[in-house]
């Protein structure tokens, strides 16, 4: 591509220095990072909150059904669990000992039909 292809650029000479200074470039980059964080972080926090509430409710139902003598239930997110990574449901007895009840998966859902 030559200047003959674009006659409007025939007299154009690129400037010797950058269009914006170093301080403005850094300020722009900081602003972009802060703006993207402000857009993405609320969605991540909302997703975590919804998953925690769903896992807690589902675990309570499973604990009542599969461990009726339990006092309470606990849903935990574990990366290295025996059933694989994801939410795990535990039933708690009066001494606070945890008994594994069921895996809830990476994305917990409402309880499925129980036998």
Distance CA 5, CA 20 (A): 29
Q: What is the DSSP letter of 113?
A: P
Residue ranges of alpha helices (H) inside 1-115 are 22-66
Distance CA 58, CA 105 (A): 11
Q: Could you tell me the two tokens for 91? A: 């039933």
pLDDT of 5-51, one tens digit each? Answer: 777 777 777 777 777 889 999 999 999 999 999 999 999 999 999 99
Quick one: pLDDT at residue 87? 95
Q: What is the DSSP letter of 5?
A: T
Predicted model pTM: 0.72
pLDDT of 51-108, one tens digit each? Answer: 999 999 999 999 999 999 999 999 999 999 888 899 999 999 988 899 999 999 999 9
């Amino acid at each position: 591509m030559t200047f003959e292809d674009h006659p409007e650029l025939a007299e154009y000479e690129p400037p010797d220095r950058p269009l914006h200074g170093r301080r403005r470039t850094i300020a722009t980059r900081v602003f972009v990072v802060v703006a993207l964080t402000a857009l993405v972080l609320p969605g991540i926090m909302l997703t975590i909150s919804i998953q925690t509430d769903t896992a807690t409710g589902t675990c309570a139902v499973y604990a009542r059904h599969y461990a009726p003598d339990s006092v309470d239930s606990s849903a935990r997110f574990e990366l290295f669990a025996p059933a694989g990574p994801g939410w795990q449901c535990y039933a708690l007895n009066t001494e606070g000992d945890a008994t594994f009840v069921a895996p809830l998966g990476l994305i917990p859902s409402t309880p499925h039909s129980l036998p």
